[in-house]
Amino acid sequence: MLDVAARQPLRKFVFTSSVATIGRVEGRRATEGDAFNWSRRAPEYVLSRVAAENLLLDYSRDGAVSGVAMCVANTYGTGDWQPTPHGSFVAGAALGKMPFTVRGCRAESVGIDDAARALALAADRGEVGERYIVSERSIDMGEIVAIAARAAGREPPRLVLRRAALYGAGAVGSARAAITRRPVRLTVPSVRLMHFMSEMDHSKAERDLNWRPRPVTEAIEEGARFWVDRRAARHS
C-alpha cells in the first residue's frame, strides 16, 4: 500500500494507529516520544500495529510518503455495531445485561467523533513523520459502566469484579477462542489492554492540530443511548 501511495500525489497519508504503540513509563504521563517497549507482554494485534506504524514512519523519514501516525485510544460513541471489546461494557450496562462492574482497569479513551476529527485535522496540520496521541483522558472501566447504565435510566451494577476475576474470565474466553477458532470479545490480551498502558499526554495533538476533544463521558452516554434506541427499533 505504501509503495502505491508513494507513486501518488498525496497531500498526506494519515494512518490510524493505536495508543498501544506508545511506550510504558513510570512517574509521568507517556508521550509520543516514548518508544514501544513492552513487546514480551504484547498480543499479536499490538505487535502488528507497531510494525505497521514503524513502516509508515520509515517511509516518511525517507521522503517516500508524507505520513502521520495517529495513536488512537479506545473509542466510544454511536455506531459501535459489533461492539468492540470495551464497547461491550457500554452495551451490557445500557441494556441491563451486565450483572457486575469492574475495578482496577482503566485505559485512555476518546469519543469516536473526536477521533475522526483528529484524523481530519492531521491531514491539514499534522507534521510529516510524527505521531499524535488521540485520547481525551484515562478513565476507569467502573466509571464507564456507571455512566452507561445511568444514561440508559438504570442503576449501575452493585457486584464488583476486581482485575484478577476479569483475568479469569479472559482465560476462559481465550480457551474458548482456541478451541472454536472463533473470535471472542473478552480474552487475556483484551483484559491486559484495559489496564496495562501508562496514562498519556495528548497535548501535542491539541497544540499542533488545534484539536479540542469533548469529554469522553459524553460519548459514553451517546453510546449507551445508541444501544437502547437500537433495541427499541428492533421491538417496534
pLDDT in tens, 57-107: 999 999 999 999 999 999 999 999 989 889 999 999 999 999 999 998 999
Nearest CA to 227 among 102, 107, 77? 77
Return the exposure string of 79-117: e unless at least 16 CB atoms fall within 10 Å of the residue's CB, then b.
ebeebbbbbbbbbbbbbeebebbbbbbbbbbbbbbbbbb
pLDDT digits (tens, 9 = 90+) for 182-208: 988 789 988 888 899 999 999 999 999
- pLDDT tops 90 at residue 134: yes
Of the two residues 226 and 191, the one the predictor is more confident about is 226
Which sequence spans correspond to the domains of the chain?
Answer: 2-235
Mean pLDDT of 163-169: 91
Q: Which residues pair with 71 in a beta bridge?
A: 17, 133
Pairing of strands 13-18, 67-72: parallel
pTM: 0.93
CB atoms within 10 A of CB 62: 10
The band of 12, judged by pLDDT with boundaries at 50, 70 and 90, is: very high
**Angstrom distance (rounded) from CA 11 to CA 68:** 11
Asked if residue 213 lies in contact with residue 77, where contact means CB atoms within 8 angstroms, the answer is no
Secondary structure letter of residue 77 according to DSSP: S
State the fold for domain 2-235: Rossmann fold (3.40.50)
Query: Mean pLDDT across the chain, nearest whole number?
Result: 95
Pairing of strands 106-111, 74-76: parallel
Grid cell of 127 as nine digits: 507534521
The pLDDT, as a whole number, for residue 133 is 99
